[in-house]
A = this chain, B = another copy of it.
Amino acid sequence: MGGDHGPHVTVPAALSVLKDKHDLKLILIGDQGNLEQELRNHRYDNSSRLIIQHASEQVAMDESPSSALRNKKDSSIRVAVNLVKQGTASACVSAGNTGALMAISRFVLKTLPGVERPAIVSTIPSIKGHTHMLDLGANVDSSAEQLFQFAIMGSVLTSAVDNIQRPTVGLLNIGEEEMKGNERVKEAARMLEESDINYAGFVEGDDVYKGTVDVVVCDGFVGNVALKTSEGVARMISHFMKEEFTRNPLTKMAAAISSPVLNALKGRIDPRKYNGASFIGLQGIVIKSHGSADVLSFATAIREAIQEVEKDVPQLIGSQLEALFMARDNA
């Protein structure tokens, strides 16, 4: 129940999803008093589908993951992930400190057998619809084996949530002729070519938004930079657009006349519709919402969690990996 806005956002988001999903049960974790107050503000009547679980501590947004892991045993993040571990909750959704959420999730839930490290995967808008991209920042200097595992995990997730039989998977690379990528990417490509994955070859940065493949696989440093750079470009364009449309009375009139079009455009690339990154490769479902998420945005992250629970994504990934490791042992 963290993030920049706390329960003011997470509570109404939870209530809005509860309204749609009639078999959903939610546990709100955080300061009991605050949560109860927020529920009263929304005139919420008690229901057996909403439970409050008190947590006496909070992980600060700038706290180091190791400190959070060591010292905040009763933080809302820790309590939430513990509930997933115990099976009381089917998934954890948090807008809190990313590093702390990852460290606690890894420590408490553990990775699936054979998974070296979990990855962060998110949905990104594209001209054709959307693309799944991973890793977005959990791992730097990923090895070829890790990239290969990201490809499998991304493929299984995409197949489950998008109902695609065999999603196409591309490895992010650069197009400069001289070197054509680094050794790890080349080695991962060789591994993917020999696998069951529907591997579509190398893709470049612009392919993410063209929608060339269903899943784009890359190292976490590269993926994180690509994602943040994209946000930067979109914000710059929106900034220039605002400046140009508010320049003088004539341009303001043009803006007024164009407002339905501009709103439609805004809706198509609205980052709130894509909120909710999965920590994939864990023995449990953990969804990270943007810290600055608003109600609509946080609700999207909760819905992502529901989808992954319904499809039992960790189990699907686990069995896919098990089959792979067995095949390797027999080879």
Contact = CB atoms under 8 A, between A and B. Distances in A.
Interface of A: 62-65, 97-100, 102-103, 125-127, 137-138, 140-141, 172, 174-179, 181-183, 204-210, 218, 220-222, 224-237, 239-241, 244-245, 247, 250-251, 253-255, 257-258, 260-262, 264-265, 268-269
27 contacts: A98-B177, A102-B176, A127-B240, A137-B174, A138-B178, A140-B182, A141-B182, A172-B225, A174-B221, A174-B225, A181-B221, A204-B228, A205-B226, A205-B227, A206-B228, A206-B235, A209-B235, A225-B225, A230-B233, A234-B237, A236-B269, A244-B261, A244-B265, A247-B261, A253-B257, A255-B261, A257-B258
B230 A205 contact: yes
A233 B209 contact: yes
B261 A174 contact: no
Contact of A257 (B172, B230, B257): B257
Given A176-B137, A229-B229, A254 B244 contact: no
Contacts of A179: 99, 140
Contact of A236 (B209, B218, B227, B254): B209
Contact of A232 (B208, B224, B244): B208
User: Which of A102, A183, A207, A258 has most B Cβ within 10 Å?
Assistant: A258
A265 B247 CA distance: 11
Given A98-B178, A225-B226, 15 more contacts: A64-B177, A99-B176, A140-B174, A140-B179, A174-B228, A205-B232, A206-B231, A206-B235, A209-B233, A234-B237, A244-B265, A251-B260, A253-B257, A255-B258, A257-B257
A269 B235 CA distance: 12
Contact of A225 (B98, B205, B210): B205
A251 to B, nearest CB: 5
A248 to B, nearest CB: 10
A269 to B, nearest CB: 6
Nearest to A234: B233
Contacts of A181: 140, 221
A259 to B, nearest CB: 8
Contact of A174 (B208, B224, B232, B241): B224
A232 B253 contact: no
B228 A205 contact: yes
